[in-house]
């Protein structure tokens, strides 16, 4: 089994930048005219969501020494999104890189992508996912957030493609 750990430095940096952004928005909200307050409150909500459900959750995994991505002979366990998901090799068609949430990430293209939109989550994340379905064409759980991991994107993409090719080789 190959375990790819979270990068503590990247996680701490992300949390600090996000926290500074939220504090800045808070002061802007206090001193802004009434017409700007709903916009800045919305931005505070989105930033807090990202920080709590994405960055702090990943940091907790890092402190518990859990891996961001596990690769074994059965498939991939992706812990970089707000809900962990296991994807079997037989479900995976290919890997590609692209932009999701304004970051360059790796997308796992599967045979039936729609099933990953219906994975059970808590009530808040389920509601947030239903809203997100209006704005994205690919399930969020199939993206690997390389920015949280202790590996470069091209190295991980090469490793994943190699493991998929090994799985797809005919067995004699």
- Structure-derived torsion over alpha carbons of residues 120, 98, 75, 1, reported in degrees to the nearest 10: -120
Q: Whose structure tokens read 């979270």?
A: 6
Q: What is the mean pLDDT of residues 91-99?
A: 88
Give the per-residue pLDDT at 81.
Answer: 83
Kindly report the backbone phi and psi dihedral angles of residue 27, in degrees, each rounded to the nearest multiple of 5, phi listed first.
-70, -35
Which residue segment(s) compose the domain that 162 sits in? 2-168
Q: Which two tokens stand for residue 97?
A: 């890189």
pLDDT digit string, tens, across residues 11-22:
899 889 989 999
Contacts of range 73-78, beta carbons closer than 8 Å, 24 or more positions apart: 73/167, 76/108, 76/160, 78/108, 78/141, 78/142, 78/144
pLDDT digit string, tens, across residues 114-162:
777 767 766 766 666 666 656 666 677 788 989 889 999 999 999 999 9
Q: Which two tokens stand for residue 123?
A: 């009530």
Q: The pTM is what?
A: 0.78
67: helix, coil or strand? Answer: strand
Q: Which two tokens stand for residue 96?
A: 């590609």
Q: How many residues are present in the chain? A: 172
Total structural domains within the chain:
1
Mean pLDDT for the chain overall: 84
């Amino acid at each position: 089994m190959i375990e790819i750990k979270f990068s503590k430095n990247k996680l701490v940096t992300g949390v600090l930048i996000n926290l500074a952004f939220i504090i800045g928005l808070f002061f802007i909200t206090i001193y802004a005219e009434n017409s700007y307050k709903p916009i800045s409150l919305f931005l505070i909500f989105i930033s807090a969501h990202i920080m709590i459900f994405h960055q702090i959750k990943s940091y907790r995994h890092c402190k518990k020494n859990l891996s961001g991505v596990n690769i074994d002979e059965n498939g991939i366990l992706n812990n970089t999104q707000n809900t962990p998901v296991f994807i079997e090799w037989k479900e995976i068609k290919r890997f590609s890189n692209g932009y999701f949430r304004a970051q360059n990430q790796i997308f796992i293209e599967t045979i039936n992508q729609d099933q990953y939109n219906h994975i059970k989550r808590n009530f808040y994340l389920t509601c947030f996912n239903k809203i997100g379905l209006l704005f994205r064409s690919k399930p969020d759980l199939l993206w690997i957030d390389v920015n949280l991991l202790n590996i470069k994107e091209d190295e991980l993409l090469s490793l994943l493609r190699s493991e998929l090719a090994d799985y797809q080789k005919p067995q004699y």
